[in-house]
Amino acid sequence: MAERIWGLAAAPAAERTDLLAAPVAAGLEGWKAAAEEPPPLVAEVDPALSDTAAASEAYGFPMEAGANCIVVTGKRGGEVRRAACVVLATTRLDVNGAVRRRLDVRKASFARQDDAVAATGMEYGGITPVGLPEGWPLLIDAAVAACPLVVIGSGVRRSKLIVPGAALTGLPGAETVDGLGLPAEG
What pLDDT, in 10s, does the model give residues 54-66?
999 999 999 999 9
What pLDDT score was predicted for residue 32? Answer: 64
Q: Where would I find the beta strands (DSSP E) of the chain?
A: 3-5, 8-12, 41-44, 67-76, 79-88, 91-93, 108-110, 138-141, 150-153, 159-163, 174-177, 181-183
Which one has a higher pLDDT value, 6 or 29?
6
For residues 102-125, give the mean pLDDT.
93
3-state secondary structure of 168: helix
What pLDDT, in 10s, does the model give residues 123-178?
999 999 999 999 999 999 999 999 999 999 999 999 999 999 999 999 999 999 99
Q: Are strands 8-12 and 3-5 parallel, antiparallel or unpaired?
A: antiparallel
Share of the chain above pLDDT 90, in %: 83
> How many CB atoms lie under 10 A from the CB of residue 2?
15
Strand arrangement of the beta sheet that strand 108-110 belongs to: 108-110, 67-76, 79-88, 138-141, 174-177
Residues ≥6 apart with Cβ < 8 Å to 77: none
pTM score of the predicted model: 0.92
What pLDDT score was predicted for residue 35? Answer: 52
